């Protein structure tokens, strides 16, 4: 199944809006109810308002009714400013959202130009996550 997502990610990269960095990112989120949601990074001249592909996809899932704990898989592919497909890992903000929306149980799949994938649990990427239970 991961090769299917890889092909979709390549196509999805063209929807990314990254005029400032030239760094395009696409993400596909798979939820435990079978739902699949897509997102790309969208940059803004006011940099703090930029959104990453992973959070864009997760926010779309939540908007469509996915509840906390519903995110099961996160698939990611990036393209740099020279047009090369590269492996990229979620930033800290995305790791936080992935952890919270998966109940700290997601698997993150990061692809390279050949479609080779590196898989990590969100716990590996964000140990000791703050999940809000402490609030």
Torsion of CA 92, 94, 97, 101, to 10 degrees: -130
Catalytic residue among 54, 73, 100, 124: 54
| 100 in catalytic set | no
CA gap 110, 27 in Å, rounded: 9
Residue 110's closest CA among 41, 25, 44, 52? 25
Residue 13's contacts (CB-CB under 8 Å, 6 or more residues apart) are 24, 25, 26, 40, 77, 78, 79, 85
Catalytic positions, written as ranges = 54
């Amino acid at each position: 199944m991961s090769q299917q997502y890889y092909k979709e990610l390549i196509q999805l990269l063209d929807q990314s809006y990254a005029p400032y960095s030239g760094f395009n990112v696409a993400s596909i989120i798979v939820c435990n109810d079978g739902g699949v949601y897509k997102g790309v990074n969208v940059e803004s001249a006011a940099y703090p308002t930029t959104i990453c592909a992973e959070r864009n996809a997760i926010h779309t899932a939540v908007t469509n009714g996915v509840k906390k704990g519903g995110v099961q898989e996160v698939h990611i592919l990036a393209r740099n400013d020279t047009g090369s497909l590269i492996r990229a890992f979620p930033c800290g903000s995305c790791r936080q959202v992935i952890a919270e929306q998966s109940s700290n149980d997601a698997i993150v799949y990061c692809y390279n130009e050949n479609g080779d994938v590196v898989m990590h649990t969100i716990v590996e990427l964000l140990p000791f996550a703050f999940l809000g239970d402490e609030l």
